Structure 1
Amino acid sequence: MMNHHGKKKVWGTALIGIVAAGCASVLEPVDASLGVEIVSGPQALTSATSATFEMVCENEGACELECALDGARFQSCESTVTYEALDVGPHIFEAQAVDTSGRVSEVVAWEWTIEETGDTSPTLQISGPDTMAEGVATAELTFEFSESVAVFGIEDIDVSPEVHTLSDFESVDDTTFTATLHRSGNEAGTILISVGGDASQGGGLGAGASHTIELLGEVDITEPCEVPDHVEMSSSPAVTRFGESTGAIEFTMPPLPTVLSHPFTTTDNPEMGGQVNMVGTSQTGFHRRKMWISECPGGEALSTRCSASGIEITIRWRQEEARVSCTLETDKTYYFNVSYGGSTDCDDAEGCPAIIQHLGGWD
């Protein structure tokens, strides 16, 4: 009789024929003291096309196991046996034990059925706005599966670029989920929302989906800087060491109209700041000089506080709004420029000495 695991015992008398050296021995009867138990196997109804069985021999002495599938001939087998690529439909696995004397146990069996499965993979649709206007910071997203899903959470959703984030993830029911998208900044661009396959409650793997949102916003229309003919992109430490703390640097200032210029990039720390002082040597102390910070080489100063001219001049700067300093944005490239003032006092075509010192900065 079948039990609830699909196992059954087959009662009766079995004889084993042993042929050796051309003569046959007497078949041994079933030994009631010898047994085998199938401790695990497939469920009675399954879609899996493979099956694994584990067995235990019940005997005081040593014994071997023999197995058969779907009425085939018994063959020697191990305590764990696996069958692959099985057909859809009913199957029966049988096992018996054989001791060292050739006696066999009762046959035990395990019956199960492999059912044919259809395509139950859920599909996913992601709904949300196609565009986000300039200044719009949030958007509502809906994730709707064609059938119930076993596990789906905010961690299964990818947002690219990663600076944009999700919050307020909620389950409306077992097929529909919502979340709020948070836009970072107000720049123009795109956001890609994507989800990979997710397991349905029936075990299927659903296809992924994606949704693209176009961001309308600020567009950087800054044209690339050109270097005018009178501007020299200099390697002098007088201009290359902007943002560092230095001692007094003596350098050669070329006569007008030449401007020495070099780029620098601010950091992401808004509390950073510094100061630049410039004077002449004892021979050029009466010369008028100029220094300023601009967005392009030798370009117009950012503001009046970002420029200084005279005999002894100073510029104070900070990476945040300051009442008495030149204000610089964080993570942005500027140019530091120096030249003679409105009229040159240098008669040497090669230039005349000047002294500059950078204080504070990023050190």
Structure 2
Amino acid sequence: MPGRVYRRGRWSWRWRPRSVVVCAALVALTCALGVVAMTQGTIELTAGEVLAALVGTGVVDQTAERVVLGIRLPRLVTGIFVGACLGMAGAIFQSISRNALGSPDIIGLTAGSATGAIVQIVLFDGGPLAVAAWAVGGGLVCSAAVYLLAMTRRSGGGYRLILVGIGVGAFLAAINALLLTRVGLDQALEAEIWLQGSLAGRRWEHALPVLIAFVLLAPPAAAASRRLDLLELGDDTATQLGVRVERSRLALIVIGVGLTALATAAAGPIAFVALAAPQLVRRLNRAPGAPLLSGAVMGSALLVGADLASRHLPFAWSVPVGLATGVLGGVYLLWLLGTTRKV
């Protein structure tokens, strides 16, 4: 379906009706999954009780109100915005690398953020804000290393970026394991649990930083979407069309790293979402260009759905959502390699 242009004064915005429908459907799906997630748990609630606790109308049981507002809502908000950050970051890096494998978890940025967070956890025992700051720092250092190593040669493009990122990610994973062997059992256990990636026990101090990060970083990412679309055509073509390639690429990398790092700080390293969300939504949109907004919404739906599924596995098993998405990511990666000619 061809795109349409919305104009208001000096500003214009290109949009596609199919993409709007896809986004609306994904938002509705995320809301439905969220309602189900809010009703499930040790204390089962009805949808009416959840709504009454959220809106604050009618007679609300205090226990239900504490469960909804103090436990389940922060977990849901964290899941929504962690998924949104990862989905948007995945769309950015896949467009920059021009490769379906160019997601933060594949090219090592998630591992860099995890290293920064682990250093804070095992050495300084900081709170959520300190962990978030160190995760951002680790992600920025890792991205700088990957970018500089990948750009030592002008040839190779996205393929070289991915290969360098895989190498850096493997190195950082070894560093993370080494750090865990040099600390006390309690600290190592805390860090190991965090490394699994989980939304369990998330409170507002975890939800608010990632919510604020998305609100602050999504607008500049959306504003740069046209330049990102042109970068997908290749550096030479983008330069001829007036794009300052290196400056635009660097700005987009910083935005993507910020989204990835704060999502990782809030929930730990979570695989699959950044890799799969942009590709799945591209197939639904059937349109060219980087799916930033729809990728973010798809990321939210995937993570909220995976978290809900991980809590209701057969045989009374309950696993961290990071393990569940890791299994899905492995299956998806095999499918992607088997069905895509060029990755």
TM-score tier after normalising by the smaller chain length: under 0.3
Which structure has more relative contact order (CA 8 Å, sep 6+)? It is 2
Task: State the structure with more CA Rg.
Answer: 1
> More helix per residue: 1 or 2?
2
- The normalised TM-score by structure 2 is 0.17
Higher share of residues assigned strand: 1
Return the TM-score normalized by structure 1: 0.16
